[in-house]
Structure formats: C-alpha cells, structure tokens
Amino acid sequence: MSKWNATILGPSNSVHQNRIYSLRLFCGDQYPDAPPEVWFETKINLPCVRQSDGKVDPSLFAPLARWRRDYNMESLLAELRREMALPANRKLPQPPEGSTYN
C-alpha cells in the first residue's frame, strides 16, 4: 500500500478543537527507509504546512526531517497533532472550517 488517507481530530484547548482534518500520505519505493509525503486536504495554518497545496514541508517538521525506519503512520499523525497543540500554534488563526486545498 503506497497511498493512505488519514484523519486527525483537533487537539483540545486549541483553535483546532472539534475540527476534523483529512490528510493523504504517499509512501514511495524507499519507505520505510525514507519518510512518506504528507498533505493536508483540509486547510490548516501551521508553519510546517505549505499554504499553496497543504503539503507538510519535511524541512520544517522534525519527524519527517529526521525520519527513522522504526517510525510509522500512527506516530507521524500523533506528531502532527502534537504540532497543532504547541503553544506557538494552538491559537493561530485558521481558515474557515471545512475549507480544502484544491
């Protein structure tokens, strides 16, 4: 399986609370030695996410930049949720609920 769909429930006590975020992931031929590519389908304002297309920038998201073979999809999604809850990110203005990248 190289193409995955995922969902993250927004963390409590943040602007993401009660929001559902849809993502897609692609695992290339080098996975699990190389990280998957990750895109938010639901619009989100996070420093590690390109606003043009929702792609998570590996250079701005440590779990992708420092990918290890023993990481998995569950841990990656948990780290993204943790990123949403960081003090610097949990109050960032967000796009209207339900908006998506084209």
Reported as a single tens digit per residue, the pLDDT across 64-88 is 999 999 999 999 999 999 999 999 9
Q: Which residues in the chain show pLDDT less than 70? A: none
Instruction: Give the domain ranges of the chain.
Output: 3-85
Instruction: Determine the pLDDT at residue 102.
Output: 81
Name which of 46, 55, 17, 43 is nearest 96 in CA terms. 43
Round the CA-based radius of gyration of the chain to a whole number and report it: 13
Instruction: Determine the pLDDT at residue 32.
Output: 95
Task: Give the span between the Cα atoms of 35 and 77, in whole angstroms.
Answer: 13
CATH architecture of 3-85: Roll (3.10)
Helix residue ranges per DSSP H, the chain: 62-65, 73-85
Task: Give the span between the Cα atoms of 4 and 12, in whole angstroms.
Answer: 25
pTM assigned to the model: 0.94
Instruction: Determine the pLDDT at residue 86.
Output: 98
- Largest Cα–Cα distance in the chain? 38
Instruction: Determine the pLDDT at residue 2.
Output: 94
Instruction: Determine the pLDDT at residue 99.
Output: 98
